[in-house]
Structure 1
Amino acid sequence: MSVTSTATSLDLPVVDWLDPAELARDPYPSYRRLRAEAPVAWSPAVRKVLISSFEGCSVGERHPEIFSSNVAGGTMVRALGGRPLIRKDDPDHAAERAPMNRALRPKQIMDVWAEKFEANARRHLDRMLASGNGTADLNTDYAVPVAARNLCDMVGMSGVDPTDLARWSKDFIAGTGNVLDRQDIWDRCDRSRAECDAALDETIARLRRRPDASITSMLLEGGMDEDKVRNNVKLTISGGMNEPQHMVTNMVRLLERSPAQKAEVLSDAGLWKQVFGEAVRYFSPIGMVTRQTAAAVELHGATIPEGTQVGMILASANRDAARFTDPDVFNIHRPAGTNLAFGSGVHQCAGKWAVQKAIGEIAVPLLYRELPGLQLDPSRTETWDGWVFRGLTSLPVTW
């Protein structure tokens, strides 16, 4: 059954007021309205049934047997040129996830990657200081190059120019979020995918001769078919840039607008993990994930039939007052509890521990240790982009 016929033939609320352009400007007012009026609803503009509550998204994450990741068609498969593990259900998903987990488990992060993360952050901080004259755009001058260099190392593409990898990631993310089917975005994806595949030709050949600790090498050593390796490396490139890049600027922006909490953190380095956890809840880089129902399911009094594409809005779930007290307040002392910024269950983001270490414990704390005068630049304007994936594209700072 198609999504369109499902929505029009059954009694589902219709949110014809939902505007993707408004979501890109600031999605949170629309999310509040969705949760209040129709936490399960058909959106003509997005062409999906949207789930906006914490309860509903949690049900979706806990029940992959109903909310399948094996989505028919879909923008991600089109953007990457193939079906990565995130678009598969177990046992296929588990088989492809296992070798990736070997490269990303917490012990491996500490033993192999933490030193590289530190070196990369220091390298790009030094470059920002040398060229900035006391001012910079924290996104383009620090967050992007740090995230890109870390990712080049982690996927075994140390010879790739990080600016190219960052561009590939941006294009793959734009394609994955291309719910309006813009041809210019597909053209960008096609170009970046061809460049990435050419780089993978060299990378895969080299790693077959000389394996290392990279994700690509682990996938190859696990016996994965080469086309699946390519699909999953491109998935890693897309998500592996988006979250760490945006968490650098999210954390700094939130701390600079919360001076009392900033002072606490600067006097107690043990609070950095709490800053990261609250910042990723407050501004979730992964705004929405797509699923397809494998069976009819009822949520919030609405029946979603089998075969329906569903958008689970994780960014909305993480601001749900039914789950979080004062959800629109940034509070690093919020009682410990699970948010959905990295998903949950079998599809929880494999890179969670890497980004927490690389950004939450290394890159942002380093900024504040080396630049005690760091502050937002009031003379220049910050900019944001996206809602399926959302983050700052410019954050002017001074020191």
Structure 2
Amino acid sequence: MSNAPVYDIDPATFWADPYPDLARMRAQTPVCFVPQLGATLITRRDDIFVNEKNVDVFSSDQPQGLMTVLMGQNMMRKDGDDHMHERRAIFPTVSPKTVKNVWKAQFEAATARALDRLAGQDRADLVKDFAMEVSAEALKSITGLTNMDWREMDRVSQGMIDGCSNYAGDPAVTAHCDDCTASIDRHISERMGALRSDPDLSLIAVQTQAGLDEAQMRANVKLAISGGQNEPRDAIAGAAWALLTHPQWLRAARAGDISWLQVFEEYARWISPIGMSPRRIARDHDLNGIALKAEDRLFFMFGSGNRDETVFARPDIFDPSQDIAPAISFGAGPHFCAGAWASRCLIAEVALPMLFERFTDIALVGDAPFGGWAFRGPLSVPVRLR
């Protein structure tokens, strides 16, 4: 174990609001060991930005990591040539050109259907009644799992996310995660024949066409679902909440004084949907005088780096006009989120502008509780629709 200073947390408090603890870590112990998480945390933005690229030490290859054990060794848990080979294989699915020419129209159609169902209702929860469906329908298109109901897509995604952050080792959480991965495998099996005979640009099809073996294809589809449902869902509902609680920025977005992309990217900095990325220490390493030991577990705390007081002018304030070029919301190294273009399109070009165009006087009607530190988002966003 490393000799990093020990910082204790209350897990329930940290889940409800990690930002006070993260601010104290940045100020007092920017590299620290948290016994309750069994990991060393790096909390300052520049330390994360530099060290995430050093894959010889901070390795994504984690044979005993929860994601690998529960979902298979996907490309996110590989480094170097192995990672780049699979990243190139999936690029036709997630390229800016494919997003623009193929997926955007499908995103718009799914979002319009969700809004049509909300029309006529007086009240709704933007998480469960809008963002969940919009995100899941987009993911169905991208993965090729058009045979999966959007509610099941959300269920299996959340189940895997819960499993991959189950550092307390709750057996019920693990069992539920196993049930969710089994459901994905069944749905993949149902689609494989059709996508082999009539391939499209979906994730299943392009990986098969690229010659990836079936086990690898399945692991990468599970990765896409674990990272492609709850984060866009939470960002859509969360960014809408941010605008409704900061009406000056909603007026600015509607007037074109700021872009919807600025809204989304500032929200992703302020409330990072992906708050952490784990690594395995591959060999003994000295980091700023702290001795990291081989096989230690380490977390890059993106949610903390995105609120670093030494980097951002207004780190704790939602301000889409501020300079957030240094933000690391999608990562900073070779594992930069492959779905970034799809996320920007879905959220900034489709979901947010269509929501606020359809409901011109939408308003909050209650509190919007948030939760999570590894993955963070609103649990509900109750609104009046009009």
* Aligned counterpart for 2:369 among listed residues 376, 379, 383: 383
Shift of 1:94: 0.7
Name the residue aligned to 1:88.
78
Which position in structure 2 is the counterpart of 1:3?
A: none
Q: Does 1:398 align with 2:384?
A: yes
Looking at structure 2, the residues matched to 300 and 360 of structure 1 have their Cα atoms a distance apart, in angstroms, of 39
Who is 1:58 aligned against?
Answer: 49
Residues 337-348 of structure 1 correspond to what in structure 2 (within 5 A)? 337-348=325-336
* Mapping for residues 273-288 of structure 1, pairs under 5 Å: 273-288=261-276
Q: Distance in 2 between matches of 1:321 and 1:338?
A: 12
Residue 62 of structure 2 is aligned with which of 65, 71, 88? 71
Aligned residues: CA RMSD: 1.3
Deviations 1:47-82 (A, max 9, x none): 0111111122112222222211002301111331x1
Contact 2:33 2:41 in 1 (8 A): yes
Q: CA deviation at 1:284?
A: 0.5
1:386 Cα deviation (Å)?
1.9
Native 8 Å contact 2:204 2:221 kept in 1: yes
Shift of 1:370: 0.9
Deviation at 1:118, TM superposition (A): 0.5
Displacement of 1:361 in angstroms is 1.3
Would the aligned equivalents of 1:287 and 1:313 in 2 still touch at CA under 8 Å? yes
- Contact 1:291-1:311 at 8 Å conserved across structures: yes
Paired residue type of 1:42? F
Structure 2 residue 362 is the aligned partner of structure 1 residue 370: no
Correspondence for 2:89: 99
What displacement does 1:270 show? 5.5
Superposed, 1:109-124 pairs within 5 Å as 109-124=99-114
- Opposite residue 295 of structure 2, the aligned amino acid is G
Matched, 1:310 2:298: yes
- 1:106-155 CA deviation, whole Å, 9 max, x = no partner? 1110011110011011000111224x3x2100000000011011101111
Aligned equivalents of 1:269, 1:160: Cα separation in 2: 39
Aligned partner of 1:171 in structure 2 is 159
Q: 1:220 to 1:19 in 2, by over 3 A?
A: same
1:46 to 37, 47, 50: 37
Tell me what 2:232 maps to: 244
- Preserved CA contact (<8 Å) 1:71 1:309: no
Secondary structure of residue in 2 paired with 1:363: helix
- How far did 1:269 drift? 6.9
Say whether the 8 Å CA contact 1:78–1:175 is kept in structure 2: no
Kept in 1: contact 2:266–2:324 (CA 8 A): no
Q: Does 1:355 align with 2:343?
A: yes
Residues 262-273 of structure 1 mapped to structure 2, 5 A cutoff: 262-268=250-256, 271-273=259-261
Pair 1:162-2:150 in alignment: yes
Q: Which residue does the alignment assign to 2:5?
A: 13
Q: What is the identity, as a one-letter code, of the residue corresponding to 1:19?
A: D
Instruction: Report the counterpart of residue 13 of structure 2 in structure 1.
Output: 22
The residue type paired with residue 243 of structure 1 is: E
- 15, 25, 33: which one aligns with 1:34: 25
Structure-2 change in CA distance of 1:269 and 1:139 (3 Å):
farther
Are 2:285 and 2:293, in contact at CA under 8 Å, matched by a contact in 1?
yes
Q: 1:129 maps to what in 2?
A: 119
Aligned length in residues: 385
Q: Deviations along 1:310-360, whole A, 9 cap, x unmatched?
A: 011100110010111120011111125131111022100111010110111
Q: What amino acid maps onto 1:283 in structure 2?
A: I
2:143, 2:221 within 8 Å by CA — same for their partners in 1? Answer: yes
Q: Distance in 2 between matches of 1:269 and 1:107?
A: 27
Deviation at 1:307, TM superposition (A): 2.5
Distance across 1 between alignment mates of 2:33 and 2:105: 47
1:150 and 2:141 matched: no
The aligned residue for residue 194 of structure 1 is 182
What CA distance in whole angstroms lies between the structure 2 residues aligned with 1:161 and 1:260?
A: 37
Any gaps of 5 or more consecutive residues in structure 1?
1-5
Q: Which letter does structure 2 place at the counterpart of 1:201?
A: S
| Residue in 2 that maps onto 1:210 | 198
Partner secondary structure for residue 154 of structure 1: helix
Tell me the TM-score normalised to structure 1 length: 0.94
Whether the aligned pair in 2 keeps the contact of 1:14 and 1:42 (CA below 8 Å) is yes
What is the identity, as a one-letter code, of the residue corresponding to 2:48?
A: C
Question: Structure 2: any 5+ residue segments left out of the alignment?
Answer: none
Structure 1 distance, partners of 2:184, 2:103, is 23
Matched, 1:138 2:130: no
- Residues of 2 paired with 1:202 and 1:358: CA distance? 27
Q: Which amino acid aligns with 1:41?
A: C
Which whole-Å deviations, capped at 9, do the CAs of 1:176-228 have from their partners, x for residues lacking one? 11111111110101111111111111112221111011111111111000000
- Measure, in 2, the Cα distance between the counterparts of 1:198 and 1:41: 42
CA distance in 1, matches of 2:286, 2:317: 31
Query: Which range is displaced more, 136-145 or 50-59?
Result: 50-59
| Change over 3 Å in CA distance of 1:52–1:336 after alignment to 2 | closer
Q: Distance in 2 between matches of 1:296 and 1:365?
A: 49
Query: How much identity, in percent, do the aligned residues show?
Result: 34
